[in-house]
Amino acid sequence: MATFHAFGRLPFELRTRIWEEAVTPRFVQVGYLRGTGKNGRSGVILHVLSPTPAPAVLHACHEARNLGLYERAFVDGEDPRYVWVNFDVDIVSIGHGDFHGFEP
């Protein structure tokens, strides 16, 4: 694969459009880890987890990450973590889990 060294010299609007076109739909699986919460209550959702890797475009450069193509979703629980999602194009599967009481 050839490297295009002049990408950074392209107009910002064109680079933004290219990054937007690099976003591809993904199937994002989401689950959770239950355990004992800080208050001693058992069965609490500690955090959400996903085996789906972060989108490749977020690994490209700082500019691509700052465009807001993806958002940190499902940040809740006793030990909050997040899953990168673009709700406009990604399909999110929560399987058969019971997310009762969880605030995405």
Alpha carbon 45 to its chain centroid, in Å, reads: 19
Whether the CB-CB separation of 29 and 84 falls below 8 Å is answered with no
pLDDT per residue as tens digits for the range 3-48: 888 999 999 999 999 999 999 999 999 988 777 777 777 777 777 8
E runs forming strands in the chain: 27-29, 31-35, 44-49, 71-73, 83-85, 91-93
The model's pTM is 0.75
Question: What's the rounded mean pLDDT across residues 75-90?
Answer: 84
pLDDT of residue 77: 63
3-state secondary structure of 33: strand
Closest CA to 33 of 21, 20, 18, 48: 48
Distance CA 68, CA 71 (A): 6
**Are residues 49 and 33 in contact, defined by beta-carbon separation less than 8 angstroms?**
yes
